[in-house]
Structure 1
Amino acid sequence: MPGRIVVSTGMLHTLDDAEHEVLLAHERAHLTGHHYAFVALAQIGAAANPLLRPLAIAVTYTIERWADERAATTTRDRARVARSVGKAALAARHSPAGLRGAAMGILGRRSGLAGAGPVPRRVAALLAPPLGKHPAFAAATAAVLAAAALATAEAAHDLHRLLETIGAW
């Protein structure tokens, strides 16, 4: 089922045609990347375990950065994406509902913006040169995921043996 992008008329009036292209590229990135699933899983985890709230906030921020980078790739203009993000955030801030939210990244560039809100950090990241690909990070992530899967399987096996031992199985 194809997704839908809903944009308020206020946002459309605030942004010019070039910024509409950025907005739609950003929102299409959310749709095609199924970002709602990542955010939903992080929020469910945070609801189940309040200690995971910082992780859920970091996931939300990272999802926005992911869509920003996809929009920058699509439009081939990082500066225009940065301007559009800032302009849209200002427009949303003045709206009644406001699309505000605190977000923090767990990992990222060390800069003077470490204590800034998510929008200034997103704009700064877009104005900086794009990060290169790091195969070592991909390998480390795969190793951590594999270790977590093996540990989960081992824990399930141990639980099964424990239940057999006490005769509960």
Structure 2
Amino acid sequence: MHLTNLLLGLDSLHLFFYLPLVLPGLLGLAAPRFAERLEPRVATWLLTGSAVVLAAASTVALGVLALAGVIRIPLAALIGHWSPTTIAQGDPVSKAEAALAAVLLVAAVVAALRLLRRRVRALVAAGFEAACLPGAGEYVVVDDPAPEAYALPGRPGRVVVSSGMLAALDEGEREVLIAHERAHLRAHHYAFVAVAHLAAAANPLLRPVSTAVAYTVERWADERAADACGDRRRAAQAVGKAALATKRSARGASPRNPATALGILGLRRGPLHGAGPVPRRVAALLAPPVRARRGLPWALPFGVPWLPLVAMCALLAASGVCAFAAAHDIHLLLDPRG
């Protein structure tokens, strides 16, 4: 490749670098609407998968920019057998940009590793606690006046409900509560929450997505509980009463509870947007469930609209292509055959 063509190609490196870093912000803006308007299971899969792709693309972009600074170091050029003259003429990335990218990359990796460490430790603790609980069944009642209910993943996983929570609910509401926690356990909701939070650690613009996923897994479990009891109004009442009982409790959920660390306790503070998560969950259960709009050209099965899906696919494709193009251009710059 001629040096002129190389320079023309590498002039686009800035665009290829910056787009994967800022495009996750668009998903962050759209995440609350996706969480509210899509069927919860579909929304959880869609938001989590998209967050992973965008986080990976932004990490690659940071790595490419940091590498563009490393190759300017004479010792690195000597080890890699690169031409310092070609690098100096063809690399459009400034030293300040490369240094900043290196700092951001290290910060993202450290944040992700620390979060991963905490999640693994919480998962192991949950497994040990589940194994140590009395009985052999999936459902366990603990003698505790504080109203709590949570799912502990393990072998086997356990659904734990305190005596205080049982006292706060009637028989039908208890059925809803147990079905809700079983849905968390069987659908491995802790994994979705963990992956979304890891993506947000890699790119903070994805934090609204992780918040939305924490909400959609609750909505997913709510819908499974409503299906199990066959009464959406009863399910809404159970969700509201359980939340109210927890709020009135003097102690509330223990921060050392493994379910709290895994993000699957179910009663979180802090709004998704507007009203808090519990009122929105109750309102969603009192409304008809999201179903496929059969026969309409702008909707797919599970109530997924065409336009938002196409927009999200375009967002993911643009981020992935830009990250790949930036890495490819750096490869061309370092290729001794260029």
Per the TM superposition, whether the score is higher than 0.5 is yes
Q: CA contact under 8 A between 2:233 and 2:285: conserved in structure 1?
A: yes
Which residue of structure 2 lines up, in the alignment, with residue 123 of structure 1?
Answer: 282
The equivalent position to 1:156 in structure 2, one of 324, 328, 334, is: 324
Which residue of structure 1 lines up, in the alignment, with residue 252 of structure 2?
Answer: 97
Which residue of structure 2 lines up, in the alignment, with residue 53 of structure 1?
Answer: 207
- Deviation string, structure 1 residues 81-107 (Cα, Å, up to 9, x no partner): 0010000000111221344411316xx
- 3-state SS of 2:159 partner: coil
- 3-state SS of 1:102 partner: coil
Residue 164 of structure 1: CA displacement? Answer: 4.2
Q: CA contact under 8 A between 1:92 and 1:100: conserved in structure 2?
A: no
Q: CA contact under 8 A between 2:200 and 2:207: conserved in structure 1?
A: yes
**1:131-146 equivalence runs, <5 A:** 131-134=290-293, 135-136=299-300, 137=304, 143=310, 144-145=312-313
Which residue of structure 1 lines up, in the alignment, with residue 106 of structure 2?
Answer: none
Q: How many angstroms apart in 2 are the aligned matches of 1:117 and 1:154?
A: 37
- 3-state SS of 1:40 partner: helix
Counterpart code for 1:69: E
Instruction: Identify which of structures 1 and 2 has the higher relative contact order when contacts are C-alpha pairs closer than 8 Å and 6+ apart.
Output: 2
Which residue of structure 2 lines up, in the alignment, with residue 33 of structure 1?
Answer: 187
**Would the alpha carbon gap of residues 151 and 100 (structure 1) be closer, same or farther in structure 2, given more than 3 Å must change?**
closer
**Larger fraction in strand:** 2
Counterpart code for 1:120: P
Of stretches 135-144 and 71-80 in structure 1, the one that deviates more from structure 2 is: 135-144
Q: TM-score, normalised by structure 1?
A: 0.78
- 3-state SS of 1:6 partner: strand
Cα RMSD over matched residues? Answer: 2.6
**Would the alpha carbon gap of residues 46 and 116 (structure 1) be closer, same or farther in structure 2, given more than 3 Å must change?**
same
Establish whether residue 6 from structure 1 lines up as the match of residue 6 from structure 2.
Answer: no
Q: CA contact under 8 A between 2:268 and 2:277: conserved in structure 1?
A: no
**Would the alpha carbon gap of residues 157 and 142 (structure 1) be closer, same or farther in structure 2, given more than 3 Å must change?**
same
- Deviation string, structure 1 residues 18-57 (Cα, Å, up to 9, x no partner): 1111011111111121111111112222233322222211
Q: How many angstroms apart in 2 are the aligned matches of 1:51 and 1:151?
A: 14
How many matched pairs? 159
Which residue of structure 1 lines up, in the alignment, with residue 48 of structure 2?
Answer: none
**Would the alpha carbon gap of residues 146 and 31 (structure 1) be closer, same or farther in structure 2, given more than 3 Å must change?**
farther
Over alpha carbons, which structure has the higher Rg?
2
Unaligned segments of structure 2, at least 5 residues: 1-154, 254-266, 294-298
**Aligned-residue identity in percent:** 54
**Structure 1 segments of 4+ aligned residues over 4 angstroms from their partners:** 138-143
Q: How many angstroms apart in 1 are the aligned matches of 2:233 and 2:190?
A: 26
Of stretches 74-83 and 89-98 in structure 1, the one that deviates more from structure 2 is: 89-98
Establish whether residue 62 from structure 1 lines up as the match of residue 221 from structure 2.
Answer: no
Q: How many angstroms apart in 2 are the aligned matches of 1:22 and 1:29?
A: 11
Counterpart code for 1:60: A
Unaligned segments of structure 1, at least 5 residues: 106-114
Of stretches 155-164 and 14-23 in structure 1, the one that deviates more from structure 2 is: 155-164
Residue 125 of structure 1: CA displacement? Answer: 1.1
Of stretches 20-29 and 80-89 in structure 1, the one that deviates more from structure 2 is: 20-29
Q: TM-score, normalised by structure 2?
A: 0.42
Which residue of structure 1 lines up, in the alignment, with residue 133 of structure 2?
Answer: none
